[in-house]
Chains A and B, each alone.
Chain A
């Protein structure tokens, strides 16, 4: 499984996450006039073009590591899978709506669950303080568990905060803008800024996480928590949750943009 971890992350990113990310864009570009089949095919062509451009670029770029895609057959398989998903869900427009109905609660529930770790973290840290300063006892696993909770809260609630619009904006123009303009900013921002960032996170995190998994990386201390590889896996999870939240927002913004014209 060991070397596979990194590859699977890459294939999932390149074959499923990435093509699905393009759905709201495709829905906007290919209007509802096209039949489901035609729209799905157009979407597949768009995906192939964008992905091809990306692969071409990365092949041209020097010293790229890890190479994308990990394995062309697997990649093609995943891409076909995502095309079938899209066709089954009724073309890009319907698929983006339906997928965001699935994605939104996943991101929200994750955020609403991990947020409680914040309180637990404060209580455990308090217990550590008392044990250490009063009784002179240190439990490394307690101290380390705080790091795990800290990482879980801010990485796994990242997508949730995007949905609740808690990430700070410079809102001089945004605040007073019309609903449509706001949707445009969110839509373009998702494709220009957020999704590339998520893909970069996947791409750079996969060898990092894979190395950690392959050695089953644990704590430097024998009595610590032997799960650093899980903690590091929160990074691709963060990217995935952000991408899902961005997808929901892009789909919603796309709907607003499609209302007229």
Chain B
């Protein structure tokens, strides 16, 4: 129905451009600063109404909206997101990151550029355990930046190192971007195959993406380290060494490091290992990670003296969990089988005992966190971050429904197919668009809005979904670093001492942005870096 009747013809030319106008208006509205999630949904609604008035939008496109929301509720992979957030917030609030940073600085500080190196390594470790950029950058900005400045580091170099190391959480699995991207890419992949007439489509899982991102992520760590060593060697003034005399004896440093390093390392290996080995889904591994983080926090905070609610409780629980894993790998403990041997029954009994022991340490950890008044802060922050992520998903769902209803799908496909240079041209265009959007938008918005649109046509061109996903993940990671609105830079600005100028932070990020682009280039020349590991693991 066209409200403007015959007089409406002059609007029709305009009506065909509504999909593009919607994107432009969204960008303008976003700049005003109203929350992104509601800007997405509200803009979509405004354009749905305009489209209805011009008779170019079918209102039935809005009907699946509640189903989309329910889809986000019932999607078991997305449940990993709140649990990883919880795990990250526990590690942050219980100051485990601080301790790691302290130890690493002692280990590497006496080398030239050593403080920078320790920041990168801790960034990588934290990335592998949680992957919340804000938390990592803030922690390192508060702890390392003042030290580095005091030791005569160049402010730009120091802040660039910290911001870049903080963004590693986006690419090194398990990361929330990869979970969200995995979900979106697998939908896009199925859609692309269905459109090509493949009715038994292959799937991509979040596990595939995790495996695919591992080597490129480590490669990025390597590139960061190379750059830091290069700067330290060529411009020693920018990254001086701490005199060895101030560092205390090597033996003591190593002894202290041996105490703080293992728990987070075990956690990382357990979580990441179980996902990559295909033994557990990301959601399952995330719950183990959250409980593990809880126990580590409890161990750190617990007083030595108290037995019931202290370290013994936490250690017992942790040992019980490890015991359960060992027991399971040697014995078949499944219940309800026909024949159970004597050893196995004994094993089952022991396993029950161990299982019964785990709540002890968990409760003890709760008590410790509660006493430190951090428990409710942890839960509160995790819940708020979780609902923030999913509200953007809801807003973006409406946006993409309306965008489709206005014919935006065809516009995007036509634009990609018209790009000169075939598949390569299309990939470069999409990457460039995402890179530029990254200057203004957050990764969550780009993932939910852009990827569902460009994914199916790109994958229909025969690209490897894992490779594409990893490329996109690195691209999105870069968006954290690009001035003026890179979130890592924002977070760092928020905690950096006033003598560090904003321009220092921006300048410091630039070399790392080039490293990111270099990594993208390497990955496009050697796609094997992303596709080899998933191929080996999930053959």
- Chain A residues with Cβ below 8 Å from B388 are 161, 166-168
**CB interface residues, A 104-127, toward B, < 8 Å:** 111-112, 114-116, 118-119, 121-123, 125-126
B477 at the interface (CB under 8 A from A): no
Contact residue among B76, B284, B387, B395 (Cβ-Cβ distance under 8 Å from A161): B387
A57 at the interface (CB under 8 A from B): yes
- Chain A residues with Cβ below 8 Å from B35 are 162, 167-169, 189
A177 at the interface (CB under 8 A from B): yes
B383 at the interface (CB under 8 A from A): yes
Chain B 75-116 near chain A by CB (<8 Å), digits 1 or 0: 010110011001000000000000000000000000000000
Contact between A62 and B333, CB atoms less than 8 A apart: no
The CA-CA distance from A185 to B1 in the complex, in Å, is 34
The CA-CA distance from A128 to B1 in the complex, in Å, is 53
CB distance from B362 to the nearest CB of A (A): 7
Contact between B34 and A134, CB atoms less than 8 A apart: no
Contact between A193 and B333, CB atoms less than 8 A apart: no
The CA-CA distance from A174 to B395 in the complex, in Å, is 20
- Chain B residues with Cβ below 8 Å from A154 are 72-73, 82, 386-387, 389-391
Contact residue among A61, A114, A151, A192 (Cβ-Cβ distance under 8 Å from B383): A114
Of B60-68, B419-427, B510-518, the one touching chain A: B60-68
Range of interface residues on chain B? 35 or more
The CA-CA distance from A35 to B30 in the complex, in Å, is 38
We find that the number of chain A residues with CB closer than 8 angstroms to chain B is 72
Who on chain A is nearest to B48 by CB?
A: A200
Contact residue among B34, B280, B391 (Cβ-Cβ distance under 8 Å from A129): B280
The CA-CA distance from A204 to B58 in the complex, in Å, is 14
- Chain B residues with Cβ below 8 Å from A174 are 32-33
The CA-CA distance from A243 to B204 in the complex, in Å, is 38
Contact between A167 and B391, CB atoms less than 8 A apart: yes
The CA-CA distance from A189 to B33 in the complex, in Å, is 9
CB distance from B280 to the nearest CB of A (A): 7
Contact between B383 and A118, CB atoms less than 8 A apart: yes
A1 at the interface (CB under 8 A from B): no
A215 at the interface (CB under 8 A from B): no
The CA-CA distance from A136 to B380 in the complex, in Å, is 34
CB distance from A141 to the nearest CB of B (A): 15
Contact between B33 and A170, CB atoms less than 8 A apart: yes
Contact residue among B53, B66, B279 (Cβ-Cβ distance under 8 Å from A235): B66
Chain A 186-210 near chain B by CB (<8 Å), digits 1 or 0: 1011001110110011001100110
- Chain A residues with Cβ below 8 Å from B227 are none
Give the one of A116, A188, A200, A232 with max B CB within 10 A.
A200
Contact residue among A118, A147, A188 (Cβ-Cβ distance under 8 Å from B86): A118
B43 at the interface (CB under 8 A from A): yes
- Chain A residues with Cβ below 8 Å from B373 are none
A147-B73, A157-B384 known; A205-B33 Cβ under 8 A = no
Contact between A161 and B391, CB atoms less than 8 A apart: yes
Contact between B383 and A111, CB atoms less than 8 A apart: yes
Contact between B288 and A157, CB atoms less than 8 A apart: no
A172-B484, A185-B33 known; A122-B324 Cβ under 8 A = no
**CB interface residues, A 151-175, toward B, < 8 Å:** 151, 153-155, 157-158, 160-162, 164, 166-175
Contact between A189 and B38, CB atoms less than 8 A apart: yes
A60-B3, A204-B65 known; A193-B43 Cβ under 8 A = yes
Contact between B288 and A177, CB atoms less than 8 A apart: no
Who on chain A is nearest to B487 by CB?
A: A168
B306 at the interface (CB under 8 A from A): no
- Chain B residues with Cβ below 8 Å from A60 are 1, 3
Contact residue among B74, B386, B395 (Cβ-Cβ distance under 8 Å from A157): B386
Contact residue among B34, B62, B355 (Cβ-Cβ distance under 8 Å from A185): B34
- Chain B residues with Cβ below 8 Å from A63 are 58-60
The CA-CA distance from A196 to B42 in the complex, in Å, is 7
Contact between A170 and B280, CB atoms less than 8 A apart: no
Contact between B1 and A61, CB atoms less than 8 A apart: yes
A234 at the interface (CB under 8 A from B): yes
B449 at the interface (CB under 8 A from A): no
- Chain A residues with Cβ below 8 Å from B442 are 168
B290 at the interface (CB under 8 A from A): yes
Contact between A115 and B63, CB atoms less than 8 A apart: no
A129-B284, A154-B386, A197-B41 known; A135-B69 Cβ under 8 A = no
Contact between B351 and A135, CB atoms less than 8 A apart: yes
Contact between B383 and A193, CB atoms less than 8 A apart: no
- Chain B residues with Cβ below 8 Å from A136 are 333-336
Who on chain A is nearest to B72 by CB?
A: A154
Contact between B384 and A118, CB atoms less than 8 A apart: no
Contact residue among B33, B60, B67, B72 (Cβ-Cβ distance under 8 Å from A208): B67
A72 at the interface (CB under 8 A from B): no
B379 at the interface (CB under 8 A from A): yes
CB distance from A31 to the nearest CB of B (A): 25
The CA-CA distance from A150 to B76 in the complex, in Å, is 10
A231 at the interface (CB under 8 A from B): yes
B398 at the interface (CB under 8 A from A): yes
Ordered by A's residue number, 5 sampled pairs between the chains whose C-beta atoms are within 8 Å are A62-B1, A118-B383, A147-B74, A170-B30, A196-B42
Identify 19 new A-B residue pairs, CB closer than 8 A, beyond the known A129-B280, A169-B36.
A61-B59, A111-B383, A115-B380, A126-B290, A135-B333, A137-B336, A153-B383, A154-B387, A157-B384, A161-B383, A167-B388, A168-B444, A185-B34, A186-B34, A192-B42, A193-B43, A197-B38, A197-B42, A232-B66
Residues of B within 8 A of A (CB): 1, 3, 29-39, 41-43, 45-46, 49, 52-53, 58-60, 62-63, 65-67, 69-70, 72-74, 76, 78-79, 82-83, 86, 279-280, 283-284, 286-288, 290-291, 324, 327-328, 333-336, 348, 351, 355, 358, 362, 379-380, 382-392, 395, 398, 440-442, 444, 484-485
The 4 closest A-B pairs by CB, nearest first: A174-B33, A193-B42, A136-B334, A189-B34
